[in-house]
Structure 1
Amino acid sequence: MALAVVGVQAIGGDAGKQQSATRPAPPRAAASPPVIGPAPSELDALAGPPGPADLDVMTFNLRYADVGPNSWAQRRPVMRSLLRAERPDLIGTQEGLAAQLRDIDNDLGVGYDRIGVGREGRDLGEHMAIFFDNARLRPQKSGNFWLSETPQVPGSISWGSFRIRMVTWVLFTDLVTGRRFYAVNTHLDNISEIARRHGTRLIMDRLATFDPLPVVLTGDFNSPAEPAGPIYRLLTGPAGLRDTWTAAPRRGPEYATIHNYQPPVPGGERVDWILATPGVTAVAALMNTYRQGTQYPSDHLPVQARLRLP
């Protein structure tokens, strides 16, 4: 399907209309300890500067563009500082709305492009937007599907899901290494366990149809990352994916990834994950607690992983 494009190039896809945009890329900050206020990269502080083959990935539930306390207007400068400091090669986002994502386009600058549509079709509703460094990654094809009994129908909903849920995926070529891989991004339902399980099985079925290449799955799974967790068990069991957090030899402190604008709780539930197929090496992983004063960029912590593709 021909796709509407904001930016430099059209990309083929299997449902909906993808959008791509371009933005200024500030240089990667040098490594030093994380601080409050404009900061260097916390991932670099943990693991050192990335090697040429390292791929820095982030999953980030942005929180909708709210008004009132912790409004998007208050949070946007904090998020801008965080993203400019970290400069991930790949960012899987959840809860971004169209105008909010355009703000992030502008804040990241021409070095980044974005692919994704709204869950209600076109620009309507929450996006599973995937941002990427366009000097590092080149999209080859992309698409969307909805977590429903009619996955190719935009806005479709099934299984008692509280909200429309969907997936955006992109097949990338790494311009540094020449390797290809899939980036897949989702947000599972926050209410219905049945919807989460059916949606997860649909994701597993779709992954099985992909070319035999590495896959990096980012998302807010609304389910704890623990062996007894049903969604975690499906994805790390039958689907054969690995949790990059537990696989990484270097990790920052572990927190609940939902903090609701309060100091993060050590050892709490991880619902935001970066999973990958076997063979993808996790070098380091971090839950980024960056804030400015008492203002956090979102009610979720961004989770980061430094990966090496096979």
Structure 2
Amino acid sequence: MSIVFAQLRQLRYGYSLYVTGNCNELGCWNPEKAIQLNYNEIDLWKCEVEIKSENAVEYKYFVAKTNNPQWDIRWDEGQNKVLDRTKSTDQSKIMTFNIRYDCQEDANQKRDWSHRKNLVQKLIKQINPEIFGLQEVLAHQQADLLQSFSTNYNSIGRGRQYNFWDDEACPIFYDMIKYNLIKAEIFWLSDTPKNAGSKTYGNGFPRICTYVSLLNKMSQDIYHVYNAHFDHEHKQSQVKSAEQIIKHIQQYCSAQDKIIVMGDLNSLPLSDSVKILQSPIGQNLKLENTIGALEIVLATYHAWYGMKLGMHIDYIFLGNLKKKSIMIINDQIEKQYASDHFPKVVVFE
């Protein structure tokens, strides 16, 4: 099977990212025979390896001197990652979920991350999506999630401030067995999208969108996936953010490509920003808002109260994909909510 190993990493000059594992193609855990990933674009490291083994493959990344992998090795923390063809994600299921950033004010109610991380992980595993986007993810939350979803998933993301993993991120997770990564980037929702930490739309915090282009190995279709978190206060920022994503789609997506736009847009269903995302992009392309008349009153944000009706601010839009079903998972797990948002799940065909 063809596997694309890809990571967003900010490394010191003179250092590179390597991958090794328990099969011949990955060097059998010998750093000198490890695969050096190629530096493709801003902070994206990537390589494609044809793995012949039918058994589960364990692998791990490490950082070392460029072209000299046995010197100054720094292994990734945590357990080995695994590729296992027998453990498949649910076909054509995608999810968006604001997991709520870890903050001290939640600790008094036992809602901080230490009390919720197992609930979030359990909930996502029950849903078992092949692609999912998260919002409000801090560095230590991402580290926990990477450990929990170490089998078959890869993740692309970074923090929204200038420093790489400072403040919240909007990572995208996808099934490496089913998809190969083609391109990835984080762009800031501002007039200067390549400037890390930039904010020019009136919002108090930087806002970002994570973008990946994926090859579906079975169908050979190209999937363009966007995961964004819009500002919660300024409507102008929400509108300009929606316009910016549409322009990105016009620039990078062809009329026949599959498109998924998801995230916490902090916008109600009849807002201008949602209308922009539903407007025609070209002659033959228009995104479908996957909520219908019946779902428009269902809450995706509940502020810990568990309200089933109310603010619908989390979305999944589809382009050249047909919605089969939609679910808002508003149940408690172990008598507690995993976040102040409910995850939204769409099955497409």
Compute the TM-score of the two structures, normalised by the length of structure 2.
0.72
Counterpart among 195, 220, 241 of residue 264 in structure 2: 220
Is 2:192 aligned against 1:146? no
- Matched residues, number: 277
Partner of 2:205: 163
Q: Distance in 2 between matches of 1:75 and 1:220?
A: 19
Counterpart among 229, 248, 251 of residue 209 in structure 1: 251
SS of residue in 2 equivalent to 1:219:
strand
Is 2:310 aligned against 1:264? no
Corresponding letter in the other structure for 1:112: Y
Q: Distance in 1 between matches of 2:268 and 2:250?
A: 24
Note if contact 1:253-1:286 (Cα within 8 Å) is conserved in structure 2.
no
% of aligned pairs identical? 24
Q: Distance in 1 between matches of 2:188 and 2:243?
A: 12
Question: Rg bigger for which structure?
Answer: 2
Partner of 1:63: 100
Note if contact 1:63-1:94 (Cα within 8 Å) is conserved in structure 2.
yes
Structure 2 counterparts to residues 87-166 of structure 1, below 5 A? 87-121=128-162, 122-166=164-208
Q: Given the superposition, is the C-alpha separation of residues 303 and 93 from structure 1 closer, same or farther in structure 2, using an over 3 Å criterion?
A: same
Corresponding letter in the other structure for 1:222: N
Q: Given the superposition, is the C-alpha separation of residues 234 and 154 from structure 1 closer, same or farther in structure 2, using an over 3 Å criterion?
A: same
Q: Distance in 1 between matches of 2:266 and 2:43?
A: 25
Q: Distance in 2 between matches of 1:144 and 1:11?
A: 18
Q: Please identify which structure carries the higher strand content.
A: 2
Q: Which runs of 5+ in 1 are unaligned?
A: 30-49
Q: Distance in 2 between matches of 1:198 and 1:273?
A: 17
Compute the TM-score of the two structures, normalised by the length of structure 1.
0.81
What's the offset of the Cα at 1:169?
A: 0.5
Note if contact 1:11-1:18 (Cα within 8 Å) is conserved in structure 2.
yes
Q: Which runs of 5+ in 2 are unaligned?
A: 1-6, 10-16, 21-35, 47-60, 62-75
Q: Distance in 1 between matches of 2:193 and 2:348?
A: 30
Say which structure, 1 or 2, has more relative contact order (CA 8 Å, 6+ apart): 1
SS of residue in 2 equivalent to 1:149:
coil
Q: Given the superposition, is the C-alpha separation of residues 252 and 198 from structure 1 closer, same or farther in structure 2, using an over 3 Å criterion?
A: closer
Q: Given the superposition, is the C-alpha separation of residues 89 and 295 from structure 1 closer, same or farther in structure 2, using an over 3 Å criterion?
A: same
